[in-house]
A and B are shown apart, each in its own frame.
Chain A
Amino acid sequence: MKPIVVLTLVGVISALLLSYVYDVTKEPIAEAKAKMKREAIQKIFPFTFDSLRTNKTEKAVFYEAYDAELNIKGIAVETSTDKGYSGNIEVLVGVSTACEVYNYKVLAHAETPGLGDKIDKDKFKAQFKGKGLEGVVWKVKKDDKDGFVDELTAATISSRAVTEAVYQGLKLVSEEYPKLSDK
């Protein structure tokens, strides 16, 4: 057989096989993605929510968490910062109806393993709990003695970046939902 015929055949068979596998896995992949997002959002809220509504604006994507009676319980927002030690840090910030931080989750980062990646450890995250916009200095202690964030040893840049990202998230929520803090 001529080489060109053989290569074409090999390509066609591969393409057919792949289109079949793609078709079979398409739905499970979409489901897995949706499930992971839901689980990620669930982890940053201290309560269990009943339903999620996505609110896409020009500035960001907000996820509104509702309980069974359709009362809003909290809002999650995705933000990112390019001030990390290496590359972007993406965080999902959970905000309460009183416009205070519940918790956050690092969705993607490329910080140094063992140093900067501790931004995803509960011990570091706990500092942000219950912090709002009013009367709180969103700085690491090294930069500002009034700041509340104890920076991670040997990972000040990562700590600074996360502080900034969480603050951005909180600000985005307070701008998008100005009525929240009145409640």
Chain B
Amino acid sequence: MKDALQVFTRGFVSENPVLKMLLGLCPVLAVTTTAENGLGMGLATTFVLLGSNTVISASAKLLPKTVRIPAYIVVIATFVTIVDLLIKAFSPELNQSLGLFIPLIVVNCMILGRAEAYASKNGIGYSIIDAFGMGFGFTFALLLLSAMREVLGAGTIFNIPLVGEDPKTILVMALPPGAFAGLGFIIAGLNALEKKQKSNA
């Protein structure tokens, strides 16, 4: 039980895919202009990760070593296409802002990374927990970065204005350089916190 909890929580901080392992940065940098987009992308990725981890851990023994990677990619691409169709059908608004980036989840190396490094070597139960932990960790990082960029760059949060119409904002935060800078500050802050904790202990 303690083991399962550890598998779940490490995705948040100690092995956070974005903030610690720096995996899957393409969507992280591209879609985090508003908190809504960040959250949507995070949840879509979590769903794909959950599907691919489950299927891959269940079928790991059946897959010959030589073709495992192509098989993983087919599984991942299938789940991504399912997510793409579902979003188009039931959330057209989200599709308008995220549509372009959903197919890119296929090449999110975090998902393939979890399939190869964890799901193929562990049971279904733990793989599902791992998918939730990593997925929520990914979503958490995206939400943090996108909320920061939306507040500083557009003066809104979840499209709700914080300081009235047409505020003076730090425009660069809404632009691509803001994504790099914002992510850098978050990682630096996290590292500084950890260093402090270590020296206290």
What residues of chain A have their CB less than 8 Å away from a CB belonging to chain B?
1-3, 6-7, 10-11, 14, 17-18, 21-22, 25, 28-29, 32-33, 35-36, 112-115, 123
- Partner among A3, A10, A22, A25 whose Cβ is within 8 Å of the Cβ of B74: A10
Indicate if B153 sits at the interface (CB-CB under 8 A).
Answer: yes
Which positions 141-179 of chain B face chain A at CB distance < 8 Å? Answer: 153-154, 166, 169, 171, 174-175
Is B9 close to A, CB under 8 A? Answer: no
Known contacts A7-B67, A114-B169; is-contact A29 B62 (Cβ 8 Å):
no
The answer to whether B71 and A25 have CB atoms under 8 Å apart is: no
Residues of A within 8 A of B74 (CB): 7, 10-11, 14
A6 vs B72: C-alpha distance when bound (angstroms): 12
Q: How far is the CA of A75 from the CA of B166 in the complex (A)?
A: 31
B120 located at the interface, meaning its Cβ lies under 8 Å from any Cβ of chain A in the complex = no
Residue B122 is within 8 A (CB to CB) of chain A in the complex: no
Contact partner of B90 among A3, A11, A17, A28, CB < 8 A? A28
- A32 in complex: contacting residue of B63, B92, B154, B171, CB < 8 Å: B92
Q: Which residues of B contact A (CB under 8 A)?
A: 33, 62-64, 66-67, 70-71, 74-75, 77-78, 81-82, 85-86, 88-90, 92, 153-154, 166, 169, 171, 174-175
- B175:A25 contact, CB within 8 angstroms: no
Q: Give chain B residues whose Cβ lies under 8 Å from the Cβ of A17.
A: 78, 82
A123 and B82 CA atoms in complex are apart in Å by 39
What residues of B have a CB within 8 angstroms of the CB of A113 in the complex?
33, 153, 174-175
| Contact call B85/A21, Cβ cutoff below 8 A | yes
**Distance A36 CA – B99 CA, assembled complex (angstroms):** 15
14 examples of A-B residue contacts, CB within 8 angstroms: A6-B63, A6-B64, A6-B71, A17-B78, A17-B82, A18-B78, A21-B85, A21-B86, A25-B86, A25-B89, A113-B175, A114-B154, A114-B175, A123-B166
Determine the distance from Cα of A15 to Cα of B171 in the docked complex, in whole angstroms. Answer: 45
**Complex alpha-carbon distance, A81 and B157, angstroms:** 32
Q: Which residues of B contact A36 (CB under 8 A)?
A: 92
The interface residues of chain A lying within 8 Å CB-to-CB of B92 are 32-33, 35-36
Q: A32 with B166: in contact, given A3-B66, A18-B82, A114-B175 (CB under 8 Å)?
A: no
Q: Are B75 and A6 in contact (CB under 8 A)?
A: no
Which residue from A10, A25, A35, A114 sits with its C-beta under 8 Å from B171? A114
Q: In the A-B complex, list the 3 residue pairs whose CB atoms are closest, starting with the nearest.
A: A28-B89, A25-B89, A14-B78
Least CB distance, A181 to chain B, in whole angstroms:
35
B71, A29: Cβ atoms closer than 8 Å:
no
Contact B71 A7 (CB under 8 A): yes
**B62-A1 in contact (CB<8A):** yes
Nearest to B92 among chain A residues (CB) is A32
Per the bound structure, the CA–CA distance linking A22 and B89 in Å amounts to 10
**Nearest CB of chain A from residue B79's CB, rounded to whole Å:** 9
**Residues on A with beta carbons closer than 8 Å to the beta carbon of B174:** 113-114
Min distance, Cβ A124 to any Cβ of chain B, angstroms: 11
User: When the two chains form their complex, are residues A25 and B88 in contact, meaning their CB atoms are under 8 A apart?
Assistant: yes
Which chain B positions have C-beta within 8 A of A123? 166
Q: Which residue of chain B is the closest to A154 with respect to CB atoms?
A: B171
**A18–B81 touching, CB < 8 Å:** yes
Contacts of B154 in A (CB 8 A): 114
Instruction: Given the known inter-chain contacts A10-B71, A17-B78, A21-B82, please indicate yes or no for A1 contacting B64, CB distance below 8 A.
Output: yes
Q: Bound state CA distance, A25 and B77, in angstroms?
A: 17
Alpha-carbon distance A114/B90, docked complex (angstroms) = 29
